[in-house]
Amino acid sequence: MRKIKWLMSLVLLFLFPVSASAESWQAVPMVSQAILNSGNTGGEGGQWPLAIGISKADPNFMMYGTDVGGVYRSTNGGGQWEPANIGLHSVGASSFAFDPANANRVLAVGAGSGPMDWNGVYLSTDKAQSWSLVKGAKISGFRDIRDQLDYDPASYDANLGYTKTAYWSRIENDAPQWGTPEIHPAIYKSTDGGQNWQELASTAAYAGGIIRVHPSAGTVYAANGNGFYKSNDGGLTFTIKLSGAITGMDVVHKTGSENVVYLTKSDGLYKSTNSGEQFTKVNSASFPPSPFNLKASSADPNKLITGSDQGSYNWKRYYTTDGGANWSVGTDDAANSWIPNNNRPVVLALHPTDSAKAWSFGGDFIMRTTNSGANWAWANNGNTGIMTGGKFAFNVFNPNLLYIGSQDYDGMLTNDGGATWARSGLLGEYWGGWVYGGYAASAQIYYGGVPDVNNYGGPKYLKITRNGGTTVVNTGIQLSGLDTSYGDPTDANILFAWNHRSTDGGISWTPMVNCVGVLTHSPVGNKELYGTNGTGIVRSTDKGATWQTLYTFNNVNIRDLAYDHIRNQLYIVNEWSTLYKYDLNTGLLDELKENMPADQFGNRHMRSVAVDPVDPSIVYVAGAANTYQTDTSVVRSTDGGETWTTLTRSKRLNNTQFGKDGGHEAYVIRVHPLTREAWVGTVCYGVWKIAAPSSATSALNRSGWTVTGTPTEAYHPAGNAIDGNAGTAWQSGASQSNGHSLVIDMKSEKRFNQLVLDTGSSNNDYPRGYEVYVSVNGTQWGTKVASGTGNGAMTSITFAAQKARYIKVIQTGSTGWWWTVSELNVYMPDSFQLADRTGWTATASHRNSDAWQAVDGKPDNIWQSGASMSNGMWFVVDMKQTVSMNKLVLDTGANASGDYPRGYQIMVSGDGANWGSAIATGTGNGQYVTATFALQQARYVRILQTGNAGNWWSIKDVFAHNSTL
C-alpha cells in the first residue's frame, strides 16, 4: 500500500485522456501481455477462414475472407490486417482475384451461412476500401473453399488501365446452414474488368470447381470432381484432358514456365508442360494422403505447397522444393495466438516474387512461412473477429474490469481497460466454448450462462469461477430471461445473472420476482437499478430485492434499455427493433424509430442502446442484420434522439470521418463511464470502440490547481494527486478513519458532474466510504452532493451538475489500509462547455426585471414568466460581444423541470434589431432543452416560445456553446 508500481500506473494514465480522442473506430484486439511483449499488436481472429490472396501488381496488398465475419485487407504485406467491408452486403467471402496489372482492382465472391440475393461477385477499384455488387446470385457459398475467380492477364488494356477479362466458376454443391439456394453451376465471364458478367452457355459440367487462366495465352482451365478441362476459345467450348476428381490446380506465372499446369488427385501430383494438353504423374514416395488445394510458386516453379486432410480437424501443410519428388510436412508455431489452434482446411497464398513467403490459416487465424512452407508462424495482427456472447457490462465499481462472453471462444477478461485480456474457460473445453451474458465481479470472480457440451443451442446454466478460472463451479442453475448480468452499484456482494440474484458475492443464487434481466443503474442519488420482466420496464430501489413495473409493452419483449439520469428518462429497444423514449416524470412514451437512419435496404436493426453517463443526451443504438452487413449497425444521437448520425462506415453515406471500418453487425453497445468511449460487441466482427463526440471534453485542465490532504504522509504530498504523473501519489500515511479529507481548489468556478479517484497500483487503498461537498468560497460547503463506498482502484463518483471552485472529499469509512490517490480528475459534461457569460444581460416579454437571473450563474436564481406558456413569449440574451456558437442549452432547473418550452424558435442578430429567419426550431421535453444549428456569428440570441401549456416558462440558466473549439 506504500509502494507505487510505475508500469501499471502509466498504463492507467493512458486510460484517462485529458480530452476525448478523435472519433475514429478502434479495434480492441484480444491480446495478452506476452503477445504484446513479442512485438505484436494482437488480433484474435475467431471466424472460419475461407480465402486468402495476394496481388501480383502490388504484393503488399492482400485479402482475407471469412465465412460470416466479413473480409480483411493488408497493405503492408500481411504485417497488419484491417476490416474492408464498406459496400459489401455479404457477411463473408469465399474467393478473391486480383487484377494482375492494376493493383487497385480486386474481385471477391460474397458468401454467407445462407442463400441471399446479394451474394455473388463484388468488385473493388480502390484496393478494397469499398465494394460494389456486380453479379448477384442467390447462393450461400457456406465454407466453399475453391479458387473460383481468375483474371486473364493477356486481356490487359493499356488505354483503360486494367485487365478486361475475368472468369467465375459458380458453386455446384451449395450446402447452406439454412435456406434453399439456387443451384445453377455455370462459368461466367466478364470482358469489362468485372463490371458486367455473362453466363457462358453449356458450362455446368465444368463449373463448381477451380478455375485458372494461362498467364499469357488466354487459355482457360477448369477442374472439378469429374476432371480437368481446357478451353482455347475464351470459355465457349471445353475439352476434357484428364479424368477423375481434381483436388487442387495451379498455373505458374513465371517467364519461361507459363505453360506449366499442376494438378493434385488422390493418388499424387500431376504436371503438364504444354498448357494442359498432357499430364505426367510426378513420382514421389512422400506425397501426402488426401491432398487438398495446391499452390505453385511463380518465383520458383519447383516449390509447391498443398494441404492434406488427415482426419477430423487434422489438416497438415506439405511442401516440396524439388518439383514434387520429395514432400515434407510443415510445422506450426501458434504461440502468439490468443485463441486455440482449431485446425481448419488448408488455403494458401504464395508471394508472386519471393518463393520463400506464403500465407495460410492455422485455426481461425492467419499464419505465414518465410522458408517455403517448412515452418509456419502466427501472423494475424489486426484480424479481430471474435463473436460476443450476449450482453456485457463494465464492472460498476471499476469499469476497467470487464468480462465478455463469447460464442465459440468462451470469454475474455480484462482488468486494465482492454489493454490486455485473458481467455476464460467456463465451458472447460480445450477448443473454446460458448458463454452468454457474462460479468466480472472482480478479477477472480466472473460468471455467465453456459450450455452443455454438444447442446449449444439448449439451456444455459450458471457457471462461475472464484479464483480467476483455475476452477469453475457449475451451479446447476438453469438461467432464463435476458442474456445479461450485472452488479449492484452500492453493494459489491449483490450480483445478478440473467433472472437470478446473489447477495453473497455469487456463492448462492435465487430467482428474482418480476425481473428477468438487470441492464443499468442511475449513476447518481440512490443508484437505483433498471431492468425488464420481459415485456415491461422494472426498477428496484432496494438492490434488486423487489422490482416495480414502470411500463409494459403489449406482447413484445424488451431487448435493452438505458437511463438518462439528468432528464429522468429511459431509452428502450424492443424485439421489434423499435426505439422508445419513456419519460419517468410524465409517464409519456415516445417512439423514435422513424427519426433513425435506414440502412442500404431500407431496414432499421436495433438490439442494444446506451447513453453517455456524463452527458446522457448522447445516445447510441446498435443492431445486427445477421443475414447481411447493415451499413447502419451503430448510430448516435447528440440531442436525446431527435437527430442521428451513422457511425458504421458506409459507402453510400461517405462518412469517412469515422476512420476504420469498425463496429459492423453490433450486438451490444455500452459506454465506458470514465473514458466515455462507446464499446461495441459484435456478431463475428470483434470488439470495437469509438470516442465520444469531438466536442465532449473528458477531464478538466488541472493547471494551477492545488490540493490539501488531511492527514498526509510526508513523502507523498497531496499535490501528487494532480501532477499528471501516475507514478506518484498522495497517501494519508495512516489507517483510514472517518474525517480524512482531500480539498481541491480549482482556482476559479467550474462546471462539473463527475470525480474520479485512482489509487494507482495501491489497489486496496480506495476509500471505504466517502462524501463529496462543493463550495464557491472554500468555507461554506452546504449539503453533500454525493456519497457512497469505493470498491477498487477506480472510484468514480457522478452527481448532478455543479458549479463551484472547491471540492471536498471526506473519507467516512474505517480500515487498516491507508487512503491513496495517484490521480484525481474532474469531469464536465458537454452540455456545460460554455462561452464566457461575464457581463451578459437579458430581456424578456414577461417579468423583464427578472430576466438577468437566467444568465448570472447563481444556483438559486431563476427567471420565470409568471404566466401560462403561450405562443409569442420571448427571451433575448445580449452576450455583449460577437460569439461563435452552434448550440444553445436552456436549463429550467430541477425544481421547475416541467417549465420547459413546449415549442421554440431560435433567431440570432448582430445588432438586436435585425433577426432574420429561425436557425433552429423544436419542442422541449424536460429540464434541459438543447438546440443545435449551423455555426453562427452573433451577439444577440432570441428564443421565441411557440407552444401552449398551463406551466409557466422558466429559465434557470441559458448557455451558448461552440462544439468546434
CA 211 to CA 221: how far, in whole Å?
6
Termini Cα distance of the chain: 41
State the Cα angle at 679 between 676 and 681, rounded to 5°. 170
Q: Answer yes or no: are the C-beta atoms of 31 and 338 closer than 8 Å.
A: yes
Q: What is the pLDDT of residue 829?
A: 57
| CATH superfamily ID and name for 706-827 | Galactose-binding domain-like (2.60.120.260)
Q: How confident is the model at residue 953 (pLDDT cuts 50, 70, 90)?
A: very high
Among 145-154, 254-263, 588-597, which is the least confidently predicted range? 588-597
What pTM was estimated for this model as a whole?
0.76
Q: What is the pLDDT of residue 315?
A: 95
Q: Give phi and psi for 6, each to the nearest 5.
A: -60, -45
Q: What is the pLDDT of residue 557?
A: 98
CA 383 to CA 46: how far, in whole Å?
8
**Exposure of 702 in the CB half-sphere (CA atoms within 13 A):** 22
Whether pLDDT at 7 is above 50: no
The CATH architecture one would assign to domain 833-962 is: Sandwich (2.60)
Whether domain 592-693 has CATH 3.30.450: the reply is no
CA 61 to CA 579: how far, in whole Å?
41
CA 577 to CA 630: how far, in whole Å?
13
Nearest of 782, 771, 780 to residue 740 by alpha carbon: 771
List residues bridging with 646 in a β-sheet: 635
CA 885 to CA 880: how far, in whole Å?
14
* Matching fold, domains 706-827 and 833-962: yes
Mean pLDDT across the stretch 362-390?
A: 96
Q: How confident is the model at residue 16 (pLDDT cuts 50, 70, 90)?
A: very low
User: pLDDT tens digits, residue range 155-164?
Assistant: 999 999 999 9
Whether pLDDT at 58 is above 80: yes
Domains of the chain by residue range? 45-125+142-378, 592-693, 706-827, 833-962
Q: In three state form, how does the secondary structure of 160-194 look?
A: CCEECCEEEECCCCCCCCCCCCCCCCCEEEECCCC
Among 120-134, 214-228, 757-771, which is the least confidently predicted range? 757-771
User: pLDDT tens digits, residue range 523-578?
Assistant: 888 899 999 999 999 999 999 999 999 999 999 999 999 999 988 999 999 999 99
CA distances in angstroms from 817 to 220, 440, 444, listed in the order given: 78, 24, 21
Strands of 227-231's sheet in order across: 210-213, 220-224, 227-231, 239-243
Percent of the chain with pLDDT over 70: 95
Based on the number of CB atoms within 10 Å of its own CB, is 874 exposed (0-12), middle (13-18) or buried (19 or more)?
Answer: middle
Percent of the chain with pLDDT over 90: 80
User: pLDDT tens digits, residue range 847-863?
Assistant: 999 999 998 877 678 99
Nearest of 369, 321, 370, 363 to residue 344 by alpha carbon: 363
Nearest of 95, 100, 119 to residue 164 by alpha carbon: 100
Mean pLDDT across the stretch 866-894?
A: 89
Checking 359-363 for CB contacts under 8 A at 24+ apart, the result is 359/52, 359/54, 359/62, 359/78, 360/52, 360/305, 360/317, 361/49, 361/52, 362/332, 362/334, 362/337, 363/45, 363/334, 363/337, 363/339
Mean pLDDT across the stretch 787-807?
A: 85
Q: How confident is the model at residue 286 (pLDDT cuts 50, 70, 90)?
A: very high
Residues whose CB is less than 8 angstroms from the CB of residue 336 and which lie 6 or more positions away in sequence, other chains included: 35, 38, 40, 377, 378, 380
Query: Which CATH number applies to 45-125+142-378?
Result: 2.130.10.10
CA 207 to CA 932: how far, in whole Å?
58
Whether pLDDT at 34 is above 50: yes
User: What is the average pLDDT score of the chain?
Assistant: 92
Q: What is the pLDDT of residue 833?
A: 45
